[in-house]
Structure 1
Amino acid sequence: MRVLVTAASRHGSTREIAAVIEQELQTMNFECDLKEPRDVESVEGYDAVIVGSAIYVGQWLGEARDLIERVGPAMKERKVWLFSSGLADTPSKDANNTPALLARMKATGALGHRHFPGKLDVLQLSLAERAAIMAARGKYGDSRDMAAVRDWARSIGESILDQRTISA
């Protein structure tokens, strides 16, 4: 079973979450490809797809939104999960419960969405990003829970395997 894992990440922490997902699925004997969204031309040949994005100002990054626009209809023929990563410990209404998220889920046929707390390193931010974070009272530091990421990836792998057993 082949799985595509892709995530848009401005400073790398969401990409690190995607890498943990890929690694966990590999321990379950899935053949995985970890790609940048801009490098995904097709989902042909994949049994499942996991798409993630960092959230900035309540929105997915453009690179992830563009991927959904380009290949979303083809994703409907596969098992799809979405994830977001942002500063909040829990998803805010603006970030993950918006009509945009529901539209992404519908466009891809996603079976689920998960929000993970993110990482904020002030040294990687531009002056404009720092101002936005200060205005939103964002917390600096690494709030990612990689054990939760691994658990979620394992549940996806189990779901894929269950479907294979049922349809076999």
Structure 2
Amino acid sequence: MRILVTIASRHGGTWGIGEVVASTLRERGHDAELRAPEDVTDLTGFDAVVLGSAVYVAHWMPAARDLADRLGAQLAERPVWLLSSGLATQPAASANSPHEIRDLVERIGARGHRSFHGRLDRSVLSFTERATISAARAREGDHRDMTAVARWAEQIADALAPVPA
């Protein structure tokens, strides 16, 4: 199957998660293409989609939300999985619970949403981002579990595997 993996990422941490998803799908025999949401104008030619975003102050990034709004009808026509990546030191369920996810899952019929811990490098953050992170008492470092990301992508690959006739 041809699968679009589209990831909104401000500082590259969530993009890295998307790279693992796309690579794992390829290893499992699918044709997976990784693109930023702002580079996606149409879903024609894709059989399934993995749509993800970094989470900032309990919201997905605007580029991911915009893609879901622009292409919602097309997303609803194919299997879709959602992923979020947020504050590295908070429990994944609470740190990566963007307000728009429940509505988005229902609107497009997503097969699921998975939250992953993120990566925090204060040196690349703006002043406002550093203030927000300080208030949240987040720990610096790479807290992404790429093994868990790959396992999740394997589940997607298996769900999309052709059923023998």
TM bucket (normalised to shorter chain) is over 0.9
Q: Secondary structure at the match of 1:165?
A: coil
Structure 1 equivalent of residue 49 of structure 2: 49
2:49–2:75: 8 Å Cα contact kept in structure 1?
yes
2:58–2:98: 8 Å Cα contact kept in structure 1?
no
Structure 1: 5+ residue stretches without partners: none
Structure 1 equivalent of residue 61 of structure 2: 61
- How much does 1:91 deviate? 2.0
Counterpart CA distance in 2 for 1:159 and 1:55 is 26
Counterpart amino acid of residue 121 in structure 1: D
Counterpart CA distance in 1 for 2:93 and 2:63 is 20
1:49–1:80: 8 Å Cα contact kept in structure 2?
yes
Judging by fraction of residues, say which structure has more helix: 1
TM-score by length of 2: 0.94
Counterpart CA distance in 2 for 1:123 and 1:95 is 22
2:104 aligned with 1:126, yes or no?
no
Structure 2 equivalent of residue 165 of structure 1: 163
Counterpart CA distance in 2 for 1:22 and 1:81 is 13
Q: Secondary structure at the match of 1:51?
A: strand
- Cα deviation, 1:34-90, whole Å, max 9, x if unaligned, reads 101001111111111000000000100000000000001111111100000001332
TM-score by length of 1: 0.93
Q: Secondary structure at the match of 1:123?
A: helix
Structure 1 equivalent of residue 19 of structure 2: 19
- Cα deviation, 1:82-119, whole Å, max 9, x if unaligned, reads 00000133221x74164x21111122210000000000
Structure 2: 5+ residue stretches without partners: none
Number of residues paired by the alignment?
Answer: 163
1:89–1:116: 8 Å Cα contact kept in structure 2?
no
1:38–1:67: 8 Å Cα contact kept in structure 2?
yes
1:8–1:52: 8 Å Cα contact kept in structure 2?
yes
Residues 3 and 114 of structure 1: CA distance in aligned 2, closer, same or farther (over 3 Å): same
2:96–2:115: 8 Å Cα contact kept in structure 1?
no
Counterpart amino acid of residue 163 in structure 2: T
Structure 2 equivalent of residue 71 of structure 1: 71
- Aligned partner of 2:91 among 89, 92, 97: 89
Q: Secondary structure at the match of 1:73?
A: helix
Residues 133 and 97 of structure 1: CA distance in aligned 2, closer, same or farther (over 3 Å): closer
Counterpart CA distance in 2 for 1:104 and 1:80 is 11
Counterpart CA distance in 2 for 1:84 and 1:21 is 13
